[in-house]
Structure formats: structure tokens, C-alpha cells
Structure 1
């Protein structure tokens, strides 16, 4: 009797991509539309991973964009773009980059488009976010975690 070993095969599939939460605020309109448009942009990114089943994961990418003119907030956009991914056959060392870098790379264009549409519909000049190097961000996150674990202060705080 022959056995088929499929456990070692690497599989990746996108099951669903969806927007979990979205917000657009213009707290100082209409006054902000009368000011000279010299915006300062602040961008914050975050990811969250939840295991749904053995090989199914929800990865959520949160992007917050705050645009100010001087001290006045022109607008604030926040989106939580998520996806359900089937990932199997990867080693434990490979799963971190898959969930922390590869999946956010898949989600980012959807979030960028939604943000651009909201800003445009809000009456502001088009905003197209630059590409994000999630590989570098993931490596930076890993290095910070390693430094925090090795420092004596981190051990007493945890």
C-alpha cells in the first residue's frame, strides 16, 4: 500500500479579502478648505494575525493616515483591511515572514485604493500612498523583539 505525503507540500491560497473597519474624518472642514494646502502626513501601520483553523489565518493590516496643515488636522483616515489565508506546509521559521510580510503585501494595495478613494471623495487632493517594504518592517520588528528579550529591563517589565 503506497502512502502519499502531502504534508510537506507548501500551499498558499487567498480565501477572502475584505474591509473590517474604515473611518474618514474631517474635523476642521469647511475651514480647512480655505487654508493654503501645505500638508504634513503621518502614517502608521500595524498588523494582527489570528489563527482560525489549522492552516487558516486572518491577517489584518491597519493603516492610519493623519494629514495636518500646521497644527490643524485636515483629515484622518483609518482602515483595517483583512484577509483569510490558507497557509500550510511551511516551517515555523517560514510562517513568520508569510504572516508578517507576505500577507500584508497582498492586502496593502486594497487598503491604499480605499484610502485614496475616501480622501478624494472627502474633497481633498489625491493621496496615493507609496509602496511599503513589509519585508524590512518585519525584519525590524524581529530585531526589536530580540533586543527587548535580551535586555534586563525588558525581562523585568514583561
Structure 2
């Protein structure tokens, strides 16, 4: 029997696979440049959190490493009290997905999966350094991904309508 004679052969979709293979703490750094003096003054924290994620293929079989970097800088009295950087990574199997879905998986879904582990590492480090507990709010990586797509789309549209030689 040929493919055209098999029932449902024309409607079969390529098989998709997605799985977390491994997650791990790739790199961690804690700096407390004003210790122990920072503990003797009034504690008025001002915190800045930066997020970054990147994905890279590990092979041609659908394995990817996704790395989520959290950088937390807290100042008190205008000076840095502590700086924590955590790189939480994971190996993900993702194959059979259309390009658009693959982008979303690697840039939004995978970082969403890694974030609780990175958040826990930040909380533990800050507490072990003697500072009040640091609880990072959840992050909507889907919204961040959509925002990035919109910015990229707007940038491309602006480039297409800009006259030759125009700068941005």
C-alpha cells in the first residue's frame, strides 16, 4: 500500500518532541563590597534586577542549552550593598516544531521553566550573605518575548520606510 492509499496519511503532522533533559547552575557570583560596614547603617534598599536569556544548539538532533542570567544589584544609602549574578541553565530537547514555535519555546517557555531555580539561588545567596530575604517577583517571559517581537517588527518596518542613508 502506498502513502496515498493509507487513511490519514495526508493529514499527519511531523512528530514534535519537547523535554527538559537537565537543569543546572552554570555560574554564580556574589559581591558585598561594603561588608561589614553595610550592616551597621540604616537599611534602605534600592534593587535593580536585570534578566537575559540565550539559547544555543548543542547538536543537530534538537538539543539546546538555554541559559537564564539574573543580575540583582541592591544599593543602600546610594552605595552597592550586594550584587548577585546567577546563570541558571538547562538542556532541552525540542524538535519537530515550526520556526515560530521554536523561537517561543527557547525564548519564553524554557526561561519560564528555569526562573524558579534561578530565583531560589538568588534568595539563598542573599540570605547567606546576611541580608534580609530577597524575593523576586514572577516574570512573564511570554509578555517579554511578545514585546521583543514587536520591537523587532517595528525596527524592521522603520528601516524599510527610512530613506537611504538615514540613521537610527
Among 79, 84, 103, the alignment partner of 2:86 is 79
Q: Does 1:28 align with 2:31?
A: no
Answer with 59-68 or 88-97: which moved more.
88-97
Unaligned runs of at least 5 residues, structure 2: 4-8
Partner in structure 1 of residue 117 of structure 2: 110
Partner in structure 2 of residue 124 of structure 1: 131
- How far residue 150 of structure 1 moved from its aligned partner, in angstroms, is 2.2
Question: In structure 1, how many angstroms separate the alpha carbons of the residues matched to 2:67 and 2:98?
Answer: 22
Question: In structure 2, how many angstroms separate the alpha carbons of the residues matched to 1:30 and 1:143?
Answer: 45
**Given the superposition, is the C-alpha separation of residues 156 and 50 from structure 1 closer, same or farther in structure 2, using an over 3 Å criterion?**
farther
Structure number, greater radius of gyration: 2
TM-score by length of 1: 0.91
Q: Does 1:61 align with 2:68?
A: yes
Among 70, 87, 108, the alignment partner of 2:77 is 70
Aligned residues between the structures: 156
Calculate the aligned-residue CA RMSD, in Å.
2.1
Q: Which runs of 4+ in 1 moved over 4 A?
A: 155-158
Question: In structure 2, how many angstroms separate the alpha carbons of the residues matched to 1:72 and 1:157?
Answer: 38
- How far residue 156 of structure 1 moved from its aligned partner, in angstroms, is 6.6
Question: In structure 2, how many angstroms separate the alpha carbons of the residues matched to 1:78 and 1:10?
Answer: 34
TM-score by length of 2: 0.85
Unaligned runs of at least 5 residues, structure 1: none
Question: In structure 2, how many angstroms separate the alpha carbons of the residues matched to 1:113 and 1:123?
Answer: 16
- How far residue 39 of structure 1 moved from its aligned partner, in angstroms, is 0.4
